[in-house]
Copies of this chain bind each other. A is one copy, B any other.
Amino acid sequence: MGEFDTFFRSAFSVDKVIFSFDGAALKVLLIKRTSPPYKGKLALPGDLVYPNEDLDLAAKRIVEQLTTRKNIISEQVQTFGMANRHPLGRVISIAYLSVVRAEEFEFSPASILQSAQWCNVNEVGELAFDHNIMLLACMKKLVEKASFSPILYDFLPSAFTLSELQVLQETIFQQPFEKRNFRKKLLSLGYLEDLETMQTGVAHRPAKLYRLNREKWVVG
């Protein structure tokens, strides 16, 4: 038996963990599977990778099949390769992470057919395949990245208030921050720009709006 017969009998898939934030909780995009295996079960959106398709492009394709938006960044997180993880054959799966704003992530007809929905990450229940483990790995990665990259700002609109940012960080890091120290710290970092405009239509003193200046971001 030649190498081809022995080894070239496998497939790989990409599964997407797409996060958003609704102002109170971290959400993940799930679909209801329309075909076996695990038909009818909630799962992460994903697909097999075409034989001549780069992995990163497969991740991009899967996102673009779900929404009418373009240019969403995908980041590889981890590969899941237990021999028995897929009931129909040897399929390893590479988990990719994206962070989006739900308001801008308009569902495509294809994702509506699959009952795409935003679920609170703490209330997803049992998912198809090893997708619960994938979700946990991506949540961990998100927390890691949050300390060293501007990834959390992808959850927010381009203009946001410091309170919105604080609630987001408290949700992701799962700890409360003291208001004055939080504001002092963030403004001292120098990458938030005061837009010199205000919230409107709120039943309390309106907050200043800020934007992230990515050029001024420095690691750490």
Contact = CB atoms under 8 A, between A and B. Distances in A.
A49 B89 contact: no
A184 to B, nearest CB: 22
Number of copies: 2
Nearest to A52: B83
A79 B13 CA distance: 12
A90 interface: yes
Interface size class of A (residues with CB under 8 A): 20 to 34
**Most chain B beta-carbon neighbours within 10 Å: one of A81, A82, A83:** A81
A68 interface: no
A133 to B, nearest CB: 13
Interface in A67-108: 76, 78-83, 89-90, 92, 94
Interface of A: 3-4, 6-12, 48-56, 76, 78-83, 89-90, 92, 94
